[in-house]
Chain A
Amino acid sequence: MILGAVATTGDPLFSHGMSLTVWVILVIKVLIVFAIVLVSVLFMVMYERKAVAVLGNRYGPNRAGPDGWLQSLADGTKLFFKEAFMPARADPVVYKIAPFLALVPVFVAFSVIPMGGHITISGITTRLQLADPPWGILLVLACSSIAVYGVMLAGWSSGSKYPLLGSVRATAQMVSYEAVIGLTVASVVLETGSLHTSAIWLSQHGPFLIHWNIIRTGIIPFCVFCIALTAEMTRAPFDLVEAEEELSGGFNLEYSSASFALFYLAEYANLITGAAIITTLWLGGPDGPAIAGHHIGPFWFALKVLILLYIFVWIRATLPRMRYDQLMELCWKRLIPLALAMLMIDAGFQVSRIWTVVTVAGAILGLLLLWRAIVVGRGATAIESDYARATGLRSHT
């Protein structure tokens, strides 16, 4: 087993055409990616519970298995053995399909994530990436859009008002933040010049950190993307969808047993896929220094994902939940203009650096002058009205 450093364009697996061996290897790769996501969900549930406990000065679950690490497995097993209850007023077909609509896109999105360079096992070389379609990053965006249907239909088909309210919130929230994600991803695509996820990480290959998109696109699109992705995944502090206080649970309120477990799975798989997407788009994917001559792309990839996941948990442990109007205001009034501006600046940089700097500096100067003019104008009005009040004269307003 040899790990290659940098993948060239195109998977070498397909270089000799499709044969039975290639098909078998493809199926094995599909299974491996599936297993990776499933196992990392089990891990993530425990990781989050442990981390949020540590951040709250507690131990977290530490009874089941070694230091409690089998707790999520035990919980999952318990969930699958519970009674599968369906409300009488639920729409049976949609009700049953919805969890899968939430789950499948997450797995599909993970398939385009590059997790390292090449791997060579007994003469067959393949990439550590399941699929590399020429519209790779669009697939990710599409999948996160389809996942909205899972949430929306789950709430609607439950035949109950609280899940419906939760799903309405979720849908509006996810659709809104979809726009922000699209705009920030466009910055990366502009920088890379390709929609291939592999091309995106290959273009970041080079000197450590400096060549990563987080630096190359300016740090703002990265921050905006992270905020938007947190909201897109309906994580804290944007988890209004699951506001227990108002909705007593959220869109998955009427779900139990296996179908509830699927939602739970989707939520955490979403988190892992999200962290993987951030890593791929902004943090150089599996890019990192080789240790002792060995290219350990998967290690760097996993490390970056783990750190990102910890930050997600940290955010959850720190920030209180936002109000719905604040959520929408943040998206439409702050993030979208910011992302749009950064997209234009990044596009300008592709054309001419000097002119972009000049234009942006001019725009900022103009805005500052305008702001100053407004302040002075307001001050003058205030003085005038004060004078009018003091002298008893009527202001001419």
Chain B
Amino acid sequence: MSAVDSFINFFKGFLVTGRVPFQPKVTVQYPEVKRPKPERSHGRHVLNRYEDGMEKCIGCELCAGVCPARCIYVRGADNPPEAPVSPGERYGFVYEINFLRCIHCDLCVEACPTEAITESKMFEFSFTTREQAIYTKAELLVDDDGKPKQLPWEDWKPGDDLNTSAWVRATSPAGAAALEGVPQWSGELGYGIRPAQPGQSDPEADDVSADTDKSLREMASSAMKAIGVSTVRPRRSGRSS
């Protein structure tokens, strides 16, 4: 009877594809409809300001120093006493990022002592010349509302520029001793501050708003378990001096 079975199964195959047109489509119509981006996605940089309009950048060049792709060029200058640009002694006089080189590793954001440079979620910028690829300070700096500038070759809609200034740092944010060693969104002022993610403020807490992140972490840990890597850190039992 296997011949009859395989004959019937042959037509069952047609039912499988024949049913598909009546199912909802999974395709997202991309330029019109955009999927929500991951919480920590890295897009193009912005240079932030304080609430009073002062620039945060103090021209320390730490970002340029840490950049593995060497795509950042910064020159600091002394603040003019009568009209200071930043609250500190110096300010970023020249600030350039070459986006043909940038790998969006976020190390500049980590290095920045004043949270002046952060990464937004905007990634749709298809420049056509090398000059356009180099974002100067005028293009990187946010306006007085803390919103980034939209350049002619950038494709993003209102709302895409949310959460541009908040960032995750591995060190104690804002110098609070209680949060030492806990990764957390910075609480600094800026356009769109994000709520804490699970594991930031309290490593054990489950935050409903970030289910995706939680499931991602679970997936990662189960995958690591599957290949035999323990996700639990080995405890140091006693020191052998």
Chain A residues within 8 Å of B, Cβ to Cβ: 54-59, 314-315, 317-319
Contact = CB atoms under 8 A, between A and B. Distances in A.
B16 interface: yes
A319 B13 contact: yes
Interface stretch (B19-27, B66-74, B220-228): B19-27
A59 B14 contact: no
A315 B14 CA distance: 8
7 contacts: A55-B17, A55-B20, A59-B25, A314-B18, A315-B14, A318-B16, A319-B13
A315 B10 CA distance: 11
B14 A58 contact: no
Contacts of B128: none
A57 B22 CA distance: 9
A57 B13 contact: no
B29 interface: yes
A57 B23 contact: yes
B29 A314 contact: no
A83 B18 CA distance: 40
A59 B28 CA distance: 10
Contacts of B16: 318
A56 B18 CA distance: 10
Q: What 4 A-B pairs are tightest by C-beta distance, nearest first?
A: A318-B17, A54-B21, A55-B17, A317-B17
B18 A54 contact: no
Contacts of A314: 14, 17-18
A216 B16 CA distance: 31
B14 A57 contact: no
A59 B20 contact: no
A55 B21 contact: yes
A57 B25 contact: yes
A59 B21 contact: no
Grouping DSSP codes into helix (H, G, I), strand (E, B) and loop, the B interface class, with mixed when no group exceeds half, is helix
A132 B38 CA distance: 66
Contacts of B29: 59
A56 B26 CA distance: 10
Contacts of B14: 314-315, 318
B26 A57 contact: yes
Contacts of A317: 17
Q: Which of B14, B16, B23, B29 has the largest number of chain A CB atoms within 10 A?
A: B14
Interface string B1-40: 0000000000001101110110101110100000000000
A319 B14 CA distance: 8
A31 B27 CA distance: 41
A189 B23 CA distance: 43
Contacts of A59: 25, 27, 29
B169 to A, nearest CB: 42
B15 to A, nearest CB: 9
A234 to B, nearest CB: 21
A308 to B, nearest CB: 15
B9 to A, nearest CB: 12
A58 B17 CA distance: 12
Contacts of B23: 57
A353 to B, nearest CB: 28
A345 to B, nearest CB: 21
Contacts of A315: 14
Contacts of B27: 57-59
B62 to A, nearest CB: 45
Contacts of B20: 54-57
Contacts of B25: 57-59
B20 to A, nearest CB: 5
Given A57-B20, A57-B27, A317-B17, 19 more contacts: A54-B20, A54-B21, A55-B17, A55-B18, A55-B20, A55-B21, A57-B23, A57-B25, A57-B26, A58-B25, A59-B25, A59-B27, A59-B29, A314-B17, A318-B13, A318-B14, A318-B16, A318-B17, A319-B13
B155 to A, nearest CB: 15
A315 B27 CA distance: 23
A58 B20 CA distance: 10
Nearest to B22: A54
Nearest to A317: B17
B191 to A, nearest CB: 33
B33 to A, nearest CB: 12
A206 to B, nearest CB: 30
Nearest to B29: A59
A59 B26 CA distance: 9
A57 B16 CA distance: 12
Nearest to A60: B27
Contacts of A56: 17, 20
Contacts of B26: 57
